[in-house]
Chain A
Amino acid sequence: EIVMTQSPATLSVSPGEGATLSCRASQTVSSDLAWYQQKPGQAPRLLIYGASTRATGIPARFSGSGSGTEFTLTISSLQSEDFGFYYCQHYNKWPLTFGGGTKVEIK
């Protein structure tokens, strides 16, 4: 199976600042990479698919980049509603796997 590794585990950011989250795959997944946001007690929400395409209704401050094994999610100016957990997931082949997650917290 493809192992997805996210870093950092926790990111402390002040509102209005930018944030960069990383995701690495143990082997190439081409651009078959998605990012999700999850808040406590809620189901995950799709943010990005195809490594760089924003899902419906996702603000432009969220952007994704990368291909192959290295991926980045950038949040250009954090709003209060952006704090929570972020997960990457590959869908290149079965079994699907998620990264361990990054917690974005208020500094």
Chain B
Amino acid sequence: EVQVLESGGDLVEPGGSLRLSCAVSGFTFDTCDVSWVRQAPGKGLEWVSGFRGNGDKTYYADSVKGRFTVSRDNSKNTLYLQMNSLRAEDTAVYYCAKGYRTGWNYFDFWGQGTLVTVSS
């Protein structure tokens, strides 16, 4: 059974940093790409970042490029999102989403999300 579990959301001041984690089970990272998708309060879905399954290629939305870094630890079956220079507009629920398989990035499994609030 596939499971996706995010953690690490918190209240952080503007300019601060935070690292989110996404622990997965029921599949291995080499078979599919995994992405971070966020949703600001009362807003729609925004794709943020992706990590390609077979290899180390990473991808970012323009809105976070240069500030966010995605990485993974295969031994721990965990994907991370390091978020630096946080802004108020980064406030959102952050979801970890599994792509069906490498190159076919529709999301068949989602976590329940973790809330990041950027505020002073």
Contacts and interface: CB of A to CB of B under 8 A. Distances in A.
B106 to A, nearest CB: 4
Interface string B66-90: 0000000000000000000000000
A18 interface: no
A95 interface: yes
Contact of A96 (B35, B44, B62, B110): B35
Interface string A84-107: 010101010011111111000000
Contact of B106 (A49, A85, A97, A100): A49
Nearest to A89: B106
Contact of B46 (A34, A38, A55, A98): A98
Most-contacted residue by chain A among B59, B62, B99, B107 (CB, 10 A):
B107
A46 B108 contact: yes
Given A1-B62, A43-B95, A98 B106 contact: no
B109 to A, nearest CB: 8
Contacts, number: 57
A87 B107 CA distance: 12
Contacts of B112: 43
Nearest to A50: B106
Interface residues of B, number: 23
B53 interface: no
Interface string B98-120: 01100011111011110000000
A44 interface: yes
A44 B45 contact: yes
Given A49-B100, A96-B105, A43 B111 contact: yes
Interface of B: 35, 37, 44-47, 50, 59-62, 95, 99-100, 104-108, 110-113
20 contacts: A34-B106, A46-B106, A49-B100, A49-B106, A55-B108, A87-B45, A89-B47, A89-B106, A89-B107, A91-B104, A91-B105, A91-B106, A94-B50, A95-B47, A95-B60, A96-B35, A96-B47, A96-B50, A98-B44, A101-B45
Q: Give the 3 A-B residue pairs with the shortest CB-CB distance, closest first.
A: A34-B106, A91-B105, A43-B110
